[in-house]
Amino acid sequence: MSKNAAKEGVLGGLHELVAQVLAAQVGNTVRVPVFTPEGEIELDEHDQPVTVEVYDASPQLLATAIKFLKDNEITATAEQSEEVSNLEDEVAKKRAANKVRKDEMRKRRDEANKKLESQ
């Protein structure tokens, strides 16, 4: 057995550990409060905060995971995977919803600024 074989085995194990850690971190979720349009925390019928589960991965972590996949030539297309196709649909819906929300926030900000200017 050559020294390179041992090194390759260690590197292969390290590679697998990095993949597992990245997968766990990218898939991590946290619960965050839901806010009303007025910016208050929404409460349920028992006066407890309403929460929603969201993914907690930072942009830096996602960039690292994407680079890891790219460096290892791991790709997926919508034609290959129904999950990827569904993900594309979800991203498109979220982008549309975010645009509506941003437009509404800009409108409210502009209205508030006009109100302040007129005082």
13 against 45, higher pLDDT: 45
pLDDT for res 78: 59
Quick: pLDDT tens for 15-58.
888 889 999 999 999 999 999 999 999 999 999 999 999 998 89
- β-pairing verdict for 51-55 and 29-33: antiparallel
Position 77 pLDDT exceeds 80: no
Q: What's the rounded Cα separation, in Å, for the pair 30 and 81?
A: 27
Per-residue pLDDT averaged across 80-96, rounded?
Answer: 78
**Amino acid letter, residue 27:** G
Q: Is the pTM of this model over 0.85?
A: no
Phi/psi for 37 (5° steps) reads: -60, -25
